[in-house]
Amino acid sequence: MNDLWFGVSTAIWLGLVTAVSPCPLATNVAAVTCIGRQVALPRRVFWSGLAYGLGRVAAYTLLGALIATALATPLALSNTLQDVMAKLIGPLLTLVGMIVLKLLPLPATPGVPLARWGERLGGGNPGGAGLLGFLCALAFCPVSAALFFGSLVPLAVEHQRPLVYPALYGIATAFPVVALGIGLALGANWAGRFLHRLPQIERIGRTVTGTIFILAGLYLTAKYVFAIL
């Protein structure tokens, strides 16, 4: 039960950190802006925001489940490979933590052409907004890729939850967008205030997550690679 709660909470936390990371944050804000142009039609704003979030959930769930299932083969679960993974997980977590904290500079990836996509998909109907969310979720930047492929997927494989953990991760990444969509539909002032505070939330979440990853990675490296602890 403790392992289950740890996995669930970790998947949700990774999703929230991803949602407020710079690249996904910019994508989400741009998408909400496109969807919010229908402010005269509150119901359409609500359903478009929800559809955008579901599109992101579907993308992460499908991709994560495919990768985690492919890795969770009988060979991958053998004792030999488990020993190898035990030695790799520490350096991997340390590397992910360095990327999250931006201590390891990586080349920037091409941005998502949201201006064009938003006009064609996000500004129309909920179906288009859902497709926009699906496509935007697959436009990984270094930080989101490190969190997804370097942390979420290994977590899903280790706990043998190839569907549940990616789905929870996707729901967490979509939560801010859905919440903002509901706020815009209701005309709530907190939606605007939340948008202004997102950069500060992102810095705090990224700092906490990166630090934990580095400390955990160093501990696991010392224990399983160097057998110090």
Mean pLDDT of 47-53: 83
Residue carrying structure tokens 């741009």: 30
Q: Which residue has better confidence, 108 or 227? A: 227
Provide CB contacts within 8 A for 198, sequence distance 6+: 20, 25, 29, 176
If we measure between CA atoms, which residue out of 49, 191, 194, 74 comes closest to residue 132? Answer: 49
Question: Degrees (nearest 5) of the Cα angle 97, 103, 109?
Answer: 90
The whole-chain average pLDDT of the chain stands at 76
The pLDDT score that the predictor gives to residue 44 is: 73
**Count of positions (residues) in the chain:** 229
Query: Measuring CA to CA, how many Å separate 118 from each of 36, 112, 135?
Result: 11, 10, 11
Averaged over 14-31, what is the pLDDT? Answer: 79
pLDDT at 155 over 50: yes
pLDDT for position 124: 54
Instruction: For residue 42, name the pLDDT band (cuts at 50, 70, 90).
Output: low
- The phi and psi torsions of 226 (rounded to 5 degrees) equal -100, -5
Q: Half-sphere exposure of residue 167, counting CA atoms within 13 Å on the CB side?
A: 4
The predicted-structure confidence for 158-205, as pLDDT tens digits, reads as follows 888 889 999 999 999 988 777 776 776 666 566 656 666 666 766 787
Looking at residue 49, its pLDDT comes to: 79
Q: For 98-116, how does the pLDDT look when each residue is reduced to its tens digit (9 = 90+)? A: 888 888 766 655 544 544 5
Please give the pLDDT value at position 108.
55
Instruction: Note the pTM of the prediction, 2 decimals.
Output: 0.73
Contact yes or no for 79/219 (Cβ under 8 A): no
Angle at 214 between CA 209 and CA 217, to 5 degrees: 120
